[in-house]
Amino acid sequence: MLLVVTYSRGARTSLRNVCRRHDAATVRQFGRAALLADTEFGAFLALRLREKHGGDVQIERTQPLNEYESVPESIREAAAAYEAREQPSTPYTKFAAGTDHPDPAAMQDREL
């Protein structure tokens, strides 16, 4: 999908108008950002916004995350284990210490 983020009042207003007018091409609208359909028409709308508002419009292409495909098992297991922890107040770093769960700093350095 196309993620459109706006950075000025004018661009935000234009984006809202586009979303209102083109319901079918709008997957989701959040305040000053929106997800547009991954179609030529979605791109057409996004590019029109950028043409009109220049650098006040950021366009990214997103895709749903399939964690079973792109996230190592150790990360998935760590997330599940941490959310199932007994002490809600335990920070993750402490939770992971002395276990096989990955260290946050190490995770930050590794790209997916």
Q: Tell me which residues touch other proteins (CB under 8 A).
A: 6-9, 12, 32, 54-56, 58
Shortest reach from residue 33's CB to other proteins, in Å: 12
Please state the φ and ψ torsions of residue 25, each to the nearest 5 degrees.
Answer: -90, -5
Q: Give the nearer residue to other proteins in terms of CB position, either 54 or 91.
A: 54
What is the C-alpha separation between 53 and 72, in angstroms, rounded?
40
Judged by CB, which is closer to other proteins: 55, or 98? Answer: 55
- H or E stretch including 30? strand 26-30
Specify burial of residue 22 (Cβ count, 10 A radius: 0-12, 13-18, 19+). Answer: middle
Nearer residue to other proteins within complex by CB, 12 or 101: 12
For residue 6, the minimal CB distance to other proteins (Å) is 8
